[in-house]
Amino acid sequence: MCFIVIHCIFFLIMELIPILKGQTTQVSIYLIMPDRAKLNRNLKSTFSEAVFTVGTRVFRKSPIFSNLRIKRHDTIIDKENPHEILDMFCETIFQSHVNTILYFQLHPTKDPTPKFIINMAEYLKIPVISWDPQYPGALQHKQDSTVLQMAPTIYHQCSMMLGILKRFNWTNFAIVSTTTFNYLEFTGSIDILIKEHNTKVKFDRKRRFNLLSSIVVNLRPSDNDTVIKTKSRQALLKENNPENRVFLIHVSSREAKDILEVAEELGLTGKEYIWIMSSFCLGNMDYSMPPRAYPLGSLGVTYSSISKDGFEDQLIDDALKTSVRLWVETLKKTFINKDQYKISPNFSCNSQQPLQQWLDGEKFYRVMRSVRLDRPTPIQFSNNGVNQLVKLRIVNIQQMTENHRTSRVWKEVGRWVPMESNVTHKAEMTVEMSGITWPGNAVLPPLGRPEKRFMRIVTLKEKPYVFYLDKDANGKCPPPAVPCRLVKKINPENNNTPQNNTVSRCCAGLCIDILRVLSSKMQFDYELYEVPDQTWGLPDQQTGEWNGLIKQIQDGLADMVLTSLKITPKRSEVVDFSIPFLETGITIMVSIRKGNISPTAFLEPYDYPSWCVILVFSVHVTGAAIFIYEWLSPQGLNRGATPLREHRFSLFRSFWLIWAMLFGASVSTDNPRGVSSRFLSNVWALFALVFLASYTANLAAFMITKDEYYNLSGIKDWRLTNPYFMNPPFKFATIPNGSTEENLRKNHYNMYKYMQRYNRATVDDAVKALKQGKIQAFIYDATPLEYHTGNDDNCELKTVGEKYAMTGYGLAVPQKAKYLEEINEVILELQENGELERLRRFWLAGACHVKRKRGQSSHTIGIPNFTSAFILLASGVLLGGLVLLLEHLYFKFGRRCLRKYDKNMCCSLVSLSMGRSLTFEQSVMKALAREKHKECKNPRCELLLWKEKHHHDLSLLYINKLKDQLQSYGITPEEDPMKQLEICDTFDKHNGYPTTCQFLQSPFKSIENRHECHQLDSYDSTPVRWKRRSLKRSPSYTNAVEVPVPEISEKQKVRFNEGKFYYEVDNEGSDQEIL
């Protein structure tokens, strides 16, 4: 006992010494509590114990904080008593140097007192640690706020509700609230949390939240239960989406009873529906039995106790201890720097001056907000001062049987508690649930969406997006086609199931594949039918009334338009479109006309100047140069000294050599002998090789069929804007009552008016008209035209020009349709996983596209395509005939004149044939040859003709002998020299070989042996002189050649025939033929 007294005296002295020295710093913390007796006693006890344990004891033991004295104060306030609040500030808070206020409002209230206290403290910059479940500051970001919120607010409850939705993948939901119970905080929190969540999972469309309905019942505080039910029924019928299966409700407990009763009447509380209630709907849960109106299996979020289990008391007790510990930790951090700022305010209500703000209070608040604690409960404040780590419990309405009596009770099935993350190693809020009773006592949780919805979907044929097929023999549609109903007049022969002027057939295409995906992911059944008027949809120019597909949506006859419907501003005014699933625009399709190879294709590898340089200049200059070099060369013609009989070369033969080398022709040519001319010939051969290589390499590119079509540049091509500039006028068309026609009517009115007479009802009709030449161009959507060009049977179609008015295809739905967001999510998912691109390639690709991409052509080359070669051949034949005609004209008329001027045989230098034709000898021999071919048709005739000529020659020799005898007697006979010349010329040669007359005029015979020359052989009267020079035949017996007479021995047998001597042959035949 004495020890205790001494110990108390010691502590009293230790307390008094700093006070006597004036070095003590005093701070206070103030607890404001609600007017609840039992709870107040518990709070006071907890508060007193926490301040002493956490604060006073610690500061006394530490020499650093020995001069710091902390005090506690608490009070209970009455409801709606502002004077008591003002007195509390003046008499207690100001005088006790309170630097932190603890305000604990345990249950929701409509009393403005909490707001008044908090606003007063915020104005004075006094930090407030609050427990107020209705605190709205979670959505506010005040720059001057000094409030730290410890209680789970509406924001926390909304966050936990969405955590439950994420756990069971309930992404579509609705919210229900009333105007009398903080609905703005509730709806605002839901909106913020949805945006935050969707931003995090933007690449995972399946996890995105979709708020289908926000149902707010407009109530007044004075409304009774009947009015509440009436207004609730109206709101649910008007604003509820039929697809809603998950409802988050935030109303008072009284309002919740009435709203849930109405929901049960409307069939919204079955086993497919789940209701999740906030703590304000649950009310006082001291008694575990929920109201009857609450559906079985409903979930609730609360921090309250159930059946007096003490959960709420423990939660508040821990929060109070944590608040005191937070205050003490802040004092420790600020007391060290007490010289820089004051840690307690100095207010007074007795001063004549207005109250000034505690400027250091904001610093104290920021230090307190930055503190992180792990016990007794973890705390972590956000920037707006709200504790992010709170505790909430999840309760469930379940059935319990006790004493053979079944009742419904609240039962805790989970909690929302802070858990340390394995990734960030920080505390994160986690939902833990188990042992849940689901609506209707189902084993599995609801799907959160309708099992199957039903939609009426209208469409219109447009290949490859939608096209029609017949059913198989079993009356079913082959995959991937789906059943659809078409207007009866489209296929009257297949009217197997008439119903409302329609027939049942099958639809397939790219849009049908998208429909199958939508139906699977959105869980709906559908009826697919064709629009009755078979038009896309345009407003009437006078009335503004829409037709076609758009009218079906406007009149509520269809829930969706699924085909290649273009998104336009005008249509978007009356219907809502999904995001585009395919890009398109306006383009032009034309027909390809199979062209022929150009008649001058063989000339196209080189341009005309190149041909002139090669064939005119190079050939003739080189040929002339070779002849000149050969003329001047000592080994060549040697300037005419070499007889042409020894070296048969001329200018034309030089040209013939040049042409033969140029084209590589295997013909007989006369080659030059000179070194220079031969070198030039080799150079020309190299040139010819390069020329032929480049020519043949490029010729293949021009000897192909060229497709001919109207290569329009685009919608502004001159043939479209001015069709009458062509003769006949250029004709083009489009499909009426479509977006293409509307665009042309709006932006190109003249084109729109002109093409009215040529428009076609369908794309197939337009394609047929293009191929038949009834129209020259078809203007329409790009992707359908690309499909037709790629899949045409003969690849006779082509799209030309730049695309115009780019837009996209979308699904049309009624305005404000709730399922539009689902459609967009499915389309985005198809785009992200590449499914849309796969569908586009599958349906829009075609064989013609592949061939054009690879540069392949399947056109066979026929006679019309090979015109140039035939023209070249025909030209050569005609030119040869012309040369033949000129040759005849030359021999008949030109030769006689040219002979008079060619005295020096210059023409032989140009052409040996020409020079030979100018001699009389050649003329006679040709005449004889012609006569022979005309008169003698067999060897017997030729033999007789030769004998007659031989006798004629002997006669002439005899005449000459007589003349010689007359001259010996001194008589000179008179004779005609021209006649003698003609006789000798006539019989000068026979088949190119010398006759007897030649030897009479030979310059080699002399007067002394003239008699010997004319002496005849005793056997055949042949002149003896032929024995000196004879002709021998080559082993092939085709040519006769000269041989010296000594080579012929007496023993050799010689045969004479047609002026030729043959030796070493058998002496068979008549004696006249043997020498």
Higher pLDDT pick, 1075 / 133: 133
In this prediction, residues 422-429 reach a mean pLDDT of 66
Beta strands in 59-124 (DSSP E): 68-76, 98-104
What's the pLDDT score for residue 10? Answer: 46
Q: How many helices (H) and strands (E) does the chain have?
A: 36, 33
Of 986, 958, 959, 988, the closest CA to residue 975 belongs to 959
Q: What is the pLDDT of residue 610?
A: 82
Q: Give the residue among 525, 528, 523, 524 at the shortest CA–CA distance from 512.
A: 528
Strand 427-433 to strand 576-577: parallel, antiparallel, or no bridges (unpaired)? unpaired
* Tokens of residue 440, six digits: 């209707």
Average pLDDT of span 92-109: 81
Nearest to 190 by CA among 221, 159, 215: 159
Instruction: Please give the Cα distance from 169 to 131 (Å, whole number).
Output: 32
* CA-to-CA dists, residue 774 to 221, 263, 595, 648, 985, angstroms: 77, 66, 19, 68, 79
- Interatomic CA distance for residues 819 and 826, integer angstroms: 11
- What is residue 978's predicted lDDT score, i.e. its pLDDT? 44
Q: Give which of 275, 269, 336, 279 is closest to 302, Cα–Cα.
A: 279
pLDDT of residue 520: 86
Higher pLDDT, 920 or 346: 346
How confident is residue 441, by pLDDT bands cut at 50, 70 and 90? confident
Least confident of 135-139, 344-348, 439-443, 500-504: 135-139
pLDDT at 1070: 40
Most confident of 255-259, 478-482, 649-653, 856-860: 255-259
- Please enumerate, as own/partner, the contacts of 722-730 that have beta carbons within 8 Å and a separation of 24 or more: 723/754, 730/776, 730/777
User: Rounded mean pLDDT of 573-593?
Assistant: 91
Cβ–Cβ < 8 Å for 730, 777: yes
Distance CA 273, CA 254 (A): 21
Angle at CA 584, nearest 5°, toward 582 and 586?
A: 165
> Tokens 């192909």, residue?
704
Q: Would you say the C-alpha torsion 597, 600, 603, 604 has a positive or negative sign?
A: negative
Question: Does residue 993 have a pLDDT over 50?
Answer: no
pLDDT the model gives residue 490: 43
Q: What span, in angstroms and rounded, lies between the C-alpha atoms of 383 and 467?
A: 59
**957's tokens:** 């020799």
Structure tokens at 461: 């044929």
Q: What is the mean pLDDT of the segment spanning 461-468?
A: 91
- The residue behind tokens 């099958």 is 506
Residue among 949, 1041, 1030 nearest 986 (CA): 949
pLDDT at 39 over 70: no
Least confident span in 521-525, 713-717, 718-722: 521-525
Q: What is the mean pLDDT of residues 1052-1066?
A: 49
What pLDDT, on the 0 to 100 scale, is given for residue 1063? 47
Determine if residue 380 is left, alpha or beta; phi over 0 gives left, psi from -120 to 50 gives alpha, anything else beta.
beta
Q: Which pLDDT tens digit goes with each residue over 687-719?
A: 888 888 888 887 776 766 666 788 898 888 999
Q: What per-residue confidence (pLDDT) applies to 23? A: 56
In the sheet that holds 274-277, the strands lie side by side as 210-217, 172-178, 246-250, 274-277, 299-302, 392-402, 405-420, 427-433
DSSP 8-state assignment for residue 738: S
Q: Residue 1015 pLDDT more than 50? A: no
Q: What would the DSSP string read from start to end of 330-363?
A: HHHHHHTTTTTS-SS----SS-SSPPPP-TTHHH
> What tens digit of pLDDT does each residue of 358-377 get?
888 888 888 888 888 877 77
What is the band of 434 on the pLDDT scale with cuts at 50, 70, 90? confident
Please tell me the predicted confidence (pLDDT) of residue 16: 47
Whether 921 shows a pLDDT value over 80: the answer reads no
pLDDT at 513: 93
Whether the per-residue pLDDT at 522 is higher than 70: the answer is yes
Strand partners, 186: none
Query: Which residue has better confidence, 200 or 599?
Result: 200
Decide which of 1011 and 951 is more confident: 951
Question: Tokens at residue 654, please?
Answer: 């030089």
List, for residues 534-548, the tens digit of each pLDDT value.
898 888 888 889 999
Range of weakest confidence among 106-110, 480-484, 771-775, 866-870 = 866-870
Mean pLDDT of the chain: 77
As to burial, measured by CB atoms within 10 angstroms (0-12 exposed, 13-18 middle, 19+ buried), residue 282 is buried
Count Cα atoms within 13 angstroms, Cβ side, for 257: 10
Cite the DSSP H helix spans in 890-1006: 895-901, 907-910, 912-917, 920-935, 939-968, 977-986, 996-1000
pLDDT exceeds 50 at position 111:
yes
- Give the model's pLDDT for residue 924: 55
Which residue, 802, 776, 775, 797, is CA-closest to 786? 797
Q: Which of 62-66, 444-448, 653-657, 684-688 has the highest mean pLDDT?
A: 444-448
Contact 103, 297 (CB under 8 A): no
Range with top average pLDDT, 232-236, 350-354, 491-495, 1006-1010:
232-236
Write out the two tokens for 580. Answer: 């585009």
Residue 677 CB-density burial (10 A; 0-12 exposed, 13-18 middle, 19+ buried): buried
Give dist(CA 932, CA 994) in Å, integer: 18
pTM of the model: 0.55
Average confidence (pLDDT) over 483-491: 76
Q: What is the C-alpha to C-alpha distance for residues 244 and 238, in angstroms, rounded to an integer?
A: 13
More reliable by pLDDT, 776 or 926: 776
CA gap 1068, 1046 in Å, rounded:
24
Q: Tell me the average pLDDT across 257-266.
A: 93
Please give the residue that has the higher pLDDT: either 948 or 720.
Answer: 720
**191 pLDDT above the threshold of 60:** yes
**pLDDT band at residue 794 under the 50/70/90 scheme:** confident
**For the residues of 776-836, what is the DSSP string, one character each?**
SEEEEEHHHHHHHHHS-TT--EEEEEEEEEEEEE--EE-TT-TTHHHHHHHHHHHHHTTHH
Structure tokens that stand for 511 in this block? 């849009």
| Percent of the chain with pLDDT strictly greater than 90 | 19
Lowest mean pLDDT among 517-531, 790-804, 905-919: 905-919
For residue 453, the cross-strand partners are 524
Contact status, residue 70 vs residue 343, Cβ threshold 8 Å: no
Q: Are strands 453-459 and 560-561 parallel, antiparallel or unpaired?
A: parallel
Q: Is the pLDDT of residue 648 over 50?
A: yes
Residue 56 DSSP SS3: helix
Q: How big, in percent rounded to 5, are the helix, strand and coil portions of the chain? A: 45, 20, 35
Q: Are 396 and 410 in contact (CB under 8 A)?
A: yes
